[in-house]
Structure 1
Amino acid sequence: MLWLKKPVLWTSSRDAGQWNSTKMTLEDWTLIRSKWHDWYQADWDYAQTTVYLFCATLGVVALLRWGSQLAHGRSGAAQKPGLLDRVAGLAGYITTRQFRVAALNWNSPPVATIGAITGLLVFVLALIFTAKPYYWPKHTMGHSPPLGTRAGWVSIAIMPFMIAFGTKVNFIGLLTRTSHERLQVFHRWTATIMYVTSLIHTFPYIVNNIAWKDMQLQYKTTPWYWTGIAALIPQTWLIACSWGYFRNPQYELFKKLHYIAAAIFMAALFIHCNFRLTSWHYIWATLALYGTSWLVRLVRGLATPATATVRSLPDRTLAVRLAVPARFRWAPGQHILVRFMISPLHFGSTHPFTIANVHVQGKKNEVELIMRVRDGITRALAAREGRSISAWVDGPYGHSGLARELRRFDRVLFLAGGSGTTFTAPLFLDLVAHKADRPADAKAEFVITVRESGALGWLERELQPFEESEAGDAAVRTHVTREKVEDVDIEKEPVSIGSLHHGRPNIPELVKEFCSTPGRVAIIACGPEEFAYDVRTAVAAEQLGVARGSSAMSEVYLHAENYSW
C-alpha cells in the first residue's frame, strides 16, 4: 500500500474539478466532456464496451452450441443434406479447416478461431483509434493522452476474459459446452491482443512526456509511471515465452516461471491502476475467477487421494495405474490432472493425462494412464517403477457426453496415432458395448498407428472385451510404421488387435471412403500435430461437400484431440 494514493478507495471520484474551464475555449471544454473523449467516463466508454463485446459474443456462441446439441438429438440416415444439415456442414468446415505455413513449420488455428481473433483485434483497434484527437493539443486539456487512456481501459477489460479462458475449472467452457483445453488458444491470443493494447497504452505517455520535457520528473514523483513499466516487463516475458517454440522444450520450467511472472504482473498492475475509476473492479473480477477455479481444483484434488504404481512398456512407454476412491467416476475420452507426491519439484504442480481405460461398475476402481517417457514427471515416474507413489487426482475433465453423442451416428471412424489410442480406445469400446442404442446397421472402425508392435500390449488387454464380443459391425486395423509386419514376433509379443499393416495409413483416402455412402458420420481422432492436421484437412473437404449439397452425407462430425494444448 506504500505507493497507493490515500485514502485508498474502491473507485476513484468522477469529479472533473481538476479541469479549469476558464483556461480553455468553449470548443475545448465541449470536446473533453463529450462521449468517447471524457477522461472521467473513459472506463464506461471503452472498458464496458469491450466487456459488452465479449459477453455478446459468448452469448451467441452458447446459444449456437446448445442449439446444435438440440438439433443433433435426431439420428438415422438422410439421403441428402437438408438446409440445416448444410448450415451445420458449413459451421463444421470453418471450425475444422486449418492452414499450414510450411516455411515456419506451423499449423494455423481453425478458420473459425482465426475469424474470432481477427474480429476481436479489429474491434479493439477500431475502438481505440476511431475517436480523435490521439493527443490533446493543449496542456490545459489534460495530462493523459486520449490514445493511451482508451488503450489502457481496453487492456484491463480484456484481462478477466483472458484469465477465464485459461482456467481448468472453466466458467466460459460451462456456458459454451466446451472443454477447457479447447479454450487455451483463446487464452493465448487474447493475452497477445491485450499486450498489443498495453503497448498502445504505454507509448503515447512516453511521447507526451518527452514533448513536455518532464519524463524524469514523472517517473520520480508518480508511482503509476514506473509500475506501468514494472508490469510491462513480465507481460512481455509471458507473451514471448508462451509460444510453443520456447514453451515446449522445457514445459515444467515454463509453467513455474509463468505463475511467478503472472504474480509480478498482477501486483505491479494493481499499483499502476491505483483504483482509478473502476480499474480495480476488473482486477478483483480476474482474481475472483482464477481464485474460484484454483480453490475448486484444490478441494477436489484433496478429496481424491490415489496410489500409483508404474510399469514399463516397450517404445519408452509407461503404464501408470491409480487406485482411486470408489466414488470417483469418469466417462470415455476424459482426462485428469494428477499431482504426484514425488519431490518438491513435482508435487508443486499437476500434470494432465488421458484416462486410457473404461470405468466398469463393480470392478476395482483403477484409472490407467499411458504415457511416453520424456523429461520431467514422466522420467521421474520411470525411475520409480515397481514402487507405490502417493498422488492426488483432480478431475475428470473433458467432454463427458461425447461417448453418448457418438451413438446417434450411422458410422464412426476412430483414428489414433501413437499414444492417441488412450483417448480413442475407451470411446470405441463404449460404442461397441452400446450397440442397442445405435441406429440399425451402424458401423465403427478403429485405425491405430504405432511405431512398434510392442506398444500394443496394454491396448490388447483393453480391447479384449471387443475381441470376445466378435462384433460384426466394428473392425480394428493396426499400422506399424517402424518394423515390417512379417518381422513381428507373435509368440514373443502376441498381437491380436485386428489386421496388421506396415506403414502409415492414407488418412485422406480413409476419410473419403468412410464418407462415400449416405448417412451421418463421426470421425474421432487423436495423435501428433501433423496427424491431426491431415485428419482435419480431409474431414474439412467432406464437410464442405455437405455445405454445398454435393455430398452423399448429411452430416460429418469431427472431434480431434492433440497431444498438447
Structure 2
Amino acid sequence: MSMSGMGHMSMGDGVPGLFYLQKIYWAVVGSAIAAGTVVNLLNRFLACQRLRDTSLTPSKPKSLFFSTYATLTAVVREASHATLPPLSLRGRTYHFAPLGPVAIILANLVVVLVFCFYKLDTTDQWKWEDVGYRTGFIAIAQLPLIFLLAGRQNLIGILVGMSYEQLNWFHRWTARTLWLTATIHMGFWFRDWGRYNYIIYELKTYTLATRGFAAWIILTFIVITSAAPIRQFGYEFFVLQHLVTFVGFIAAVWLHAPAEVKVWVWIPIGFLVFDRVARYLWVTYANLSIFHRSKNPKSGLWANRAAFTPLPGNVTRVTVEDPGIRWKPGQHVFLTCHSIVPLQSHPFTISSIPEDNKLELYVRAEKGGTRRFFRYASKHHDVLGSGEAPAKQTRTVFVEGPYGRMRPLQQFDSVVLLAGGMGATFTMPCLRDIVAKWRAACASSKHTRLAATKCIRFVWVIKSRTQLGWFESQLQSVLADIEQCKLANPDIIREIEMSIYITCDEKLEQQAQSSLCAETQPRRQTAVAENMEVSEKISEKATAEEKDNVSINSGCRPDGTCCCTAAIEGEDAIAETKCNCSGHAAKPPESDSKYLRRLNALSGRPHVRTIIRKVLEKAEGESAVVVCGPRGLSDDVRRSVVYLSDERAVHKGTGAQGIYLHVEQFGW
C-alpha cells in the first residue's frame, strides 16, 4: 500500500500526476473560500455605506451594481435556505439541513470523487493499484481542510464571515467525505490483494498496510461517535474521546504516510497548534486581573467572579460584573467554574449588551454541569429568583470568547426577532442593542445615524407567564427608551412591536428531572405559587377591518397546567386571550396588567409567515429575520422566508426588498 515514489510516477498518457491533483483540489477549495471572502467584504462595505447614507431609505440599493448584487443575493438565498419538511417516524421527528450547506458538501464530494477516478478505468484489474494510490493521495490532502473547519479561532470563518459553530457542521461532513475516500482507498487495495487471497497475509506482514488499516478503524470510530444522538447523549464524554481518538488517528496516518506526503499531516498539526495557542493567549488575557487593574484595582489573581441566581423554570442566571472581555450582541462564551463544575466548559449565549457593563448568562438546568449550577444557586437563596447573591457567594469563573458572527442588524430597514424559550437569550440583546443605538442617536446633537433600522418586530414564545420574569426589566427598559426617543424627536420613524406567546409546548422548554425540582422545592414554593397565580389577562382591541381566523385552545392538563398551543394567524383580530387553568380566577396586579398589555401577550402559537409578511410589506429597504429556538421553529421560519421571497419576487422588478435570514443554532 506504499505511496512512496508514486507522486511523480506516470499512470498513462493524459493521466494527471498525484501531486498535481492535490494542488488542483486545493485550488478548488481556495477558490470557494475566496468567493466567500469577496461576498463578506461586499457585505461589510454595504453595512458601512448604509450607516453613512443620509437618504430616507439607506437600506435600499442605489446603484446598478448593488441592485444586480441584491438580485443575485436574493436568488441564492431562496435556493440556499430551502428546507425539506421534517420527517416524523415512530414518534421521532427528523429535521433536514438547508439546501445551501447541503449543496456545498455535495460539491466537495463530487470534486473528491472526480479526482479519485479521473481517467482511471476501474473495470481493469491492472488499474486497481493506481486507484489505490490516487485515492490515498486525495484522502490525505483533505486533512488540512478538516482541521481548518474545526478550530474556534477559525481562519475560514474570519475570511467568509461565519462563526466556528456554523462551520462545525461542514467539519463533520468533510470528515465523512474523508472516511469515504479512505474506504475506497482501502477497498481497492483489498480488491487487488483479494485476487491472490493475500488480504490477511498483507495485514499481518506488511507494516504499512497494518498502520493504514488502524488509521481507518480509528477514523470509522470517530465518524460513528460524532453522530448527533451520541454527541447529545454525553457531550463531555464525546469531547474527551474525540481528542484522544484524534491523536491516535494522526499518529496512525503519520506512520502510514511516506515522507513525500507527510506535509499534509504537518499542516493540520500546525492549524491545531495555532488554534490552541491563540485560544490560550486570549483566555489568559481575559481572565488574569493584571490586564484589567483599571477596572478593579483590588481584584485578586483572577479577573472574573460570578454570582449565581436561580430563576423559575430551573434556570440559573450567571452574572459577571466588569468582565475582562468585550462582545457584540448575539455572541457566546465558554464558561468554566472549577469550584462548582470541575474541568468542564460549556457555551452560553451572552444575554446582556456591553452598555450593561456586566456579562449575563442564562443557563437551563438539564443534566451534568448545568444542573450543578442550579443546585448551587438554589442553596444560596431563600426564595427562588429573589435578589442577587451576596458578594461573599460569588465564585471565580473563567470565560473563553466571545465567539459568534452575524451581520450587524442596525444596517437593515426592518428587523424581525423570533425566539422560542431560551432562544430569547440571543434575540434580547439584539433588540436592546438597536434600541440603545436609537436612544444614543436621539440624545446626540450631531444627528449622526447609528442605526438604519426603522422597525423592530419582537416575538417570544414561552411556556408560562413565569418565564417573562427572566427579561422583565430588560423589556420594560426597551419600552421606556422608545418613549423617550419619541418625545425627544417625534419626527423620526422608530417603531417597535412586541408579542409574547404563552404556550405549554414541551418542545420549547423541557423540564428538568423531578429529583432536581424536589431538592429546591421548599425554598421556592412561595415564589412559584405567586407567579403561577397570575392569569394571562390582556385588554381587547378588536377591529372590524381585520378578520383573520383565530383558534385558541384554552384546555387544561389534568394537573391544572395550561395547554394554549393553537396557532394565531392574525393578532389584530383578537388581542385578548385567556388561559387560566389554575383553578381560581386570580386577578393580576394593575401594574402587571398594564405591562402585559404593552407587550401584547397572547395565549397560543405564532403564525410566523403572517408576522414576517406584515413587516416586509412596510419595509423600505432590506430586512433581517433572526430566529433562535427549537428546530421546528427554525425550519418554519426558513420555509416562510423562502416562500415570501419567492411570492414577493424580491429584487426581481416588483420593488420588494431583500430578506437576510440568520438562524442561530449549534449545528444541524
SS of the aligned residue for 1:133 comes to coil
Give the aligned residue type for 2:25.
T
Query: What is the CA–CA distance in structure 1 between the aligned matches of 2:14 and 2:435, rounded to whole Å?
Result: 62
Q: Bigger shift: 68-77 or 50-59?
A: 68-77
Confirm whether residue 558 of structure 1 aligns to residue 658 of structure 2.
Answer: no
Query: What is the CA–CA distance in structure 2 between the aligned matches of 1:151 and 1:493, rounded to whole Å?
Result: 70
Q: Deviations over 1:294-343 (max 9, x none)?
A: 12112222332322222211112111112454x42111111111222147
SS of the aligned residue for 1:395 comes to strand
Residues 118 and 168 from structure 1, CA distance in 2 versus in 1: closer, same or farther, beyond 3 angstroms? Answer: same
Residues 214 and 249 from structure 1, CA distance in 2 versus in 1: closer, same or farther, beyond 3 angstroms? Answer: closer
Confirm whether residue 61 of structure 1 aligns to residue 39 of structure 2.
Answer: no
Residue matched to 1:126: 114
Residue of 358, 373, 379 corresponding to 1:366 = 358
Residue matched to 1:357: 352
Give the aligned residue type for 1:359.
P
Residue matched to 1:99: 84
Confirm whether residue 506 of structure 1 aligns to residue 607 of structure 2.
Answer: yes
Confirm whether residue 332 of structure 1 aligns to residue 329 of structure 2.
Answer: yes
> 2:459–2:501: 8 Å Cα contact kept in structure 1?
yes
Query: What is the CA–CA distance in structure 1 between the aligned matches of 2:667 and 2:69, rounded to whole Å?
Result: 33
Q: Deviations over 1:127-164 (max 9, x none)?
A: 112222348756xx9xx811111111111111111111
Confirm whether residue 50 of structure 1 aligns to residue 25 of structure 2.
Answer: yes
Residue matched to 2:73: 88
> 1:526–1:563: 8 Å Cα contact kept in structure 2?
no
Residues 49 and 233 from structure 1, CA distance in 2 versus in 1: closer, same or farther, beyond 3 angstroms? Answer: same
Give the aligned residue type for 1:333.
G
Query: What is the CA–CA distance in structure 2 between the aligned matches of 1:540 and 1:118, rounded to whole Å?
Result: 21
Give the aligned residue type for 1:108.
F
Residue matched to 2:429: 426
Relative contact order, higher structure (CA 8 A, sep 6+) = 1
Residue matched to 1:113: 101
Query: What is the CA–CA distance in structure 2 between the aligned matches of 1:348 and 1:241, rounded to whole Å?
Result: 22
Residue of 268, 273, 285 corresponding to 1:303 = 285
CA RMSD of aligned residues (A): 2.9
Q: Deviations over 1:13-55 (max 9, x none)?
A: 6798xx9xxxxxxxxxxx6365636xxx52x133222212111
> 2:435–2:482: 8 Å Cα contact kept in structure 1?
no
Residue matched to 2:620: 519
Residues 153 and 111 from structure 1, CA distance in 2 versus in 1: closer, same or farther, beyond 3 angstroms? Answer: same
Residue matched to 2:153: 169
Residues 532 and 213 from structure 1, CA distance in 2 versus in 1: closer, same or farther, beyond 3 angstroms? Answer: same
Give the aligned residue type for 1:500.
A
SS of the aligned residue for 1:367 comes to strand
> 2:458–2:498: 8 Å Cα contact kept in structure 1?
yes
Q: Bigger shift: 216-225 or 328-337?
A: 216-225
The 5-angstrom pairing of residues 135-284 of structure 1 reads 145-275=129-259, 277=260, 279-284=261-266
> 1:414–1:524: 8 Å Cα contact kept in structure 2?
yes
> 1:341–1:389: 8 Å Cα contact kept in structure 2?
no
Confirm whether residue 412 of structure 1 aligns to residue 415 of structure 2.
Answer: yes
How far does residue 216 in structure 1 lie from its aligned partner after superposition? 3.8
Give the aligned residue type for 1:501.
L
SS of the aligned residue for 2:658 comes to strand
> 1:310–1:321: 8 Å Cα contact kept in structure 2?
yes
> 1:100–1:106: 8 Å Cα contact kept in structure 2?
no
Residues 58 and 441 from structure 1, CA distance in 2 versus in 1: closer, same or farther, beyond 3 angstroms? Answer: closer
Residue matched to 2:568: none
Residues 376 and 273 from structure 1, CA distance in 2 versus in 1: closer, same or farther, beyond 3 angstroms? Answer: same
Query: What is the CA–CA distance in structure 2 between the aligned matches of 1:558 and 1:263, rounded to whole Å?
Result: 38
How far does residue 445 in structure 1 lie from its aligned partner after superposition? 1.7
Query: What is the CA–CA distance in structure 2 between the aligned matches of 1:32 and 1:315, rounded to whole Å?
Result: 66
Query: What is the CA–CA distance in structure 2 between the aligned matches of 1:372 and 1:426, rounded to whole Å?
Result: 18
Residues 223 and 241 from structure 1, CA distance in 2 versus in 1: closer, same or farther, beyond 3 angstroms? Answer: same
Residues 83 and 52 from structure 1, CA distance in 2 versus in 1: closer, same or farther, beyond 3 angstroms? Answer: closer
Give the aligned residue type for 1:509.
T
Residues 410 and 265 from structure 1, CA distance in 2 versus in 1: closer, same or farther, beyond 3 angstroms? Answer: same
Residues 57 and 84 from structure 1, CA distance in 2 versus in 1: closer, same or farther, beyond 3 angstroms? Answer: closer
Give the aligned residue type for 1:355.
I
Query: What is the CA–CA distance in structure 2 between the aligned matches of 1:198 and 1:35, rounded to whole Å?
Result: 25
Residue matched to 2:338: 341
Residue matched to 1:464: 476
Q: Bigger shift: 114-123 or 475-484?
A: 475-484
Confirm whether residue 313 of structure 1 aligns to residue 329 of structure 2.
Answer: no
Give the aligned residue type for 1:99.
L
Q: Bigger shift: 284-293 or 62-71?
A: 62-71
Give the aligned residue type for 1:51.
W
- Normalising by the residue count of structure 1, what TM-score does the alignment of the two structures yield? 0.85
Query: What is the CA–CA distance in structure 1 between the aligned matches of 2:462 and 2:228, rounded to whole Å?
Result: 25
Residue matched to 1:23: none
Q: How many matched pairs?
A: 524
Confirm whether residue 451 of structure 1 aligns to residue 463 of structure 2.
Answer: yes
Q: Deviations over 1:415-471 (max 9, x none)?
A: 111111111111111111222336788111211111112112120122332122244
Q: Bigger shift: 203-212 or 163-172?
A: 203-212
Confirm whether residue 479 of structure 1 aligns to residue 501 of structure 2.
Answer: yes
SS of the aligned residue for 2:458 comes to strand
How far does residue 547 in structure 1 lie from its aligned partner after superposition? 4.2
> 1:162–1:191: 8 Å Cα contact kept in structure 2?
yes
Query: What is the CA–CA distance in structure 2 between the aligned matches of 1:224 and 1:135, rounded to whole Å?
Result: 26
SS of the aligned residue for 1:100 comes to coil
Q: Deviations over 1:481-527 (max 9, x none)?
A: 02465548745995836121001111111112221235222111111
SS of the aligned residue for 2:195 comes to helix
Query: What is the CA–CA distance in structure 2 between the aligned matches of 1:58 and 1:508, rounded to whole Å?
Result: 33
> 2:351–2:426: 8 Å Cα contact kept in structure 1?
yes
Q: Deviations over 1:85-135 (max 9, x none)?
A: 322211222232221341463322222212111111111111112222348
Q: Deviations over 1:149-207 (max 9, x none)?
A: 11111111111111111211100001111111111121111111111101001111112
Query: What is the CA–CA distance in structure 2 between the aligned matches of 1:445 and 1:58, rounded to whole Å?
Result: 34
Query: What is the CA–CA distance in structure 1 between the aligned matches of 2:13 and 2:271, rounded to whole Å?
Result: 34
Give the aligned residue type for 1:328.
I
Give the aligned residue type for 1:514.
V
SS of the aligned residue for 1:99 comes to coil
Residue of 276, 281, 297 corresponding to 1:294 = 276
Residue matched to 1:8: none
Give the aligned residue type for 2:498.
V
Residues 101 and 474 from structure 1, CA distance in 2 versus in 1: closer, same or farther, beyond 3 angstroms? Answer: closer
Confirm whether residue 535 of structure 1 aligns to residue 637 of structure 2.
Answer: yes
> 1:167–1:290: 8 Å Cα contact kept in structure 2?
yes
Q: Bigger shift: 495-504 or 306-315?
A: 495-504
How far does residue 349 in structure 1 lie from its aligned partner after superposition? 4.1
How far does residue 564 in structure 1 lie from its aligned partner after superposition? 5.6
Q: Bigger shift: 299-308 or 201-210?
A: 299-308
Give the aligned residue type for 2:364.
R
Gaps of 5+ in 2: 51-56, 288-303, 381-392, 442-448, 487-494, 505-561, 565-577, 581-585
Query: What is the CA–CA distance in structure 2 between the aligned matches of 1:265 and 1:492, rounded to whole Å?
Result: 65
